[in-house]
Amino acid sequence: MAGQKDGFSGERAYILPPAWLAELDSHPLGSLLHMTDIGYYPVAHNHFRRRDIPIGQYVLIYCRSGCGWYAIDGCRYQVTSDSYFVLPPGVPHEYGADPEDPWTIYWVHYRGTMAGTLLPSTHGPVEVRPGQSSRIADRIGLFEEIMATLERGYTNESLIYACATLSYFLSTLRHIDCYRAARAGCKDGADTQDSGKVDAVIRYMSENLERPLKLADMAEYVGLTSSYLSHLFTSRTGQSPMTHLRQLRISHACHLLDFTDLHINQICHKVGISDQYYFSRIFTATMGVAPTEYRRRPKG
């Protein structure tokens, strides 16, 4: 595909903007545990990270297939499929994929006052072997649910839900015997008609990011007046439709900066913004750095 980087086909990554991280740090639930970065790298050829300057988050890497390694405190560990490890904050480390059999990984950087309580009970990589009661697919479904929630955009409701799901995901690893012994079930809650319209508008935004959407376009799509849609959307998500649309545009721009070689003046049009300088201003205001600087930062 034109513009695609030499990377990991199908990769995904979500980097929370500084303003939302500040909100989570002060939120009664978010402050307990929240992600800062999260993603998925399939068959990650040449994946390597070295941090001589420590970061302030825990780093969890869950290897679903393939192999890799990590090094910390002068010790090097081998990582095989169906295993995971957690790197603590404040300590230099490095890790990478095996050159012959590169890993496929789910990864997340997280922090919070309860983050340390969900660490593995043993040192080194922890195996999560498949079995009759392993529920690995359920666990991966939780991680996918976090990313799907972030894909829909950042609202107070969605971020707190993602944080709660992350807590559950980590608990399935830390308390694996209880997780395997439990018989999980779920029931589909009936959504209201109005809530369904908000969901429909969010999908409409996501599917039309290249278009110069207006509030009237969204209202017409779901058969509401602009004023009622604005009221309904704000009540449900905590932000106006146009604010949410702008956040989705920036989130998609981050994805294009991370995983393609498209120029900035191409990316801005891909997210429905015709003025490159306006795009750079709102990107910087949201992410805390200019698009070019964001692109240079290592991820994962």
Does one domain contain both 43 and 89? yes
Using one digit for the tens of pLDDT, what is the confidence trace for 225-234?
999 999 999 9
Does one domain contain both 155 and 209? no
Q: How far apart are the first and last CA of the chain?
A: 23
CA–chain centroid gap for 80, Å, is 24
Does one domain contain both 36 and 159? yes
- The span from the CA of 161 to the CA of 238, in Å, is 14
- The span from the CA of 242 to the CA of 199, in Å, is 15
C-alpha radius of gyration, the chain, whole number: 20
Does one domain contain both 170 and 37? yes
Say how many domains are in the chain.
2
Nearest to 3 by CA among 276, 285, 270: 270
- 188, part of any domain: no
Does one domain contain both 168 and 208? no
Identity at 133, one-letter amino acid code: S
199 lies in which domain range?
193-296
- The span from the CA of 289 to the CA of 283, in Å, is 8
Per-residue three-class SS string for 25-51: HHCCCCCCCEEEEEEEECCCCCCEEEE
* pLDDT greater at residue 175 or residue 132: 175
CA atoms within 13 A on the CB side of 129: 1
Kindly state the tokens that stand for 33: 């545990």
Q: Final residue of a domain: which of 122, 147, 181?
A: 181
Does one domain contain both 45 and 173? yes
- Percentage with pLDDT > 70 across the chain: 93
- 1, part of any domain: no
Q: The CATH number of the domain where 279 resides is what?
A: 1.10.10.60
Kindly state the tokens that stand for 14: 């979500």
Using one digit for the tens of pLDDT, what is the confidence trace for 74-116?
999 999 999 999 999 999 999 999 999 999 999 999 999 999 9
Task: State residue 7's pLDDT score.
Answer: 53
Does one domain contain both 164 and 202? no
Q: Which segment of 8-12, 174-178, 219-223, 243-247 scores lowest on mean pLDDT?
A: 8-12
Kindly state the tokens that stand for 299: 């991820």
Average pLDDT, the chain: 89
CA–chain centroid gap for 77, Å, is 26
Angle, helices 18-26 vs 156-174, to 10°: value is: 70
Using one digit for the tens of pLDDT, what is the confidence trace for 24-57?
999 999 999 999 999 999 999 999 999 999 999 9
Residues 6 or more apart in contact with residue 284 via CB below 8 angstroms: 290, 291
Q: Final residue of a domain: which of 136, 160, 181?
A: 181
Does one domain contain both 254 and 156? no
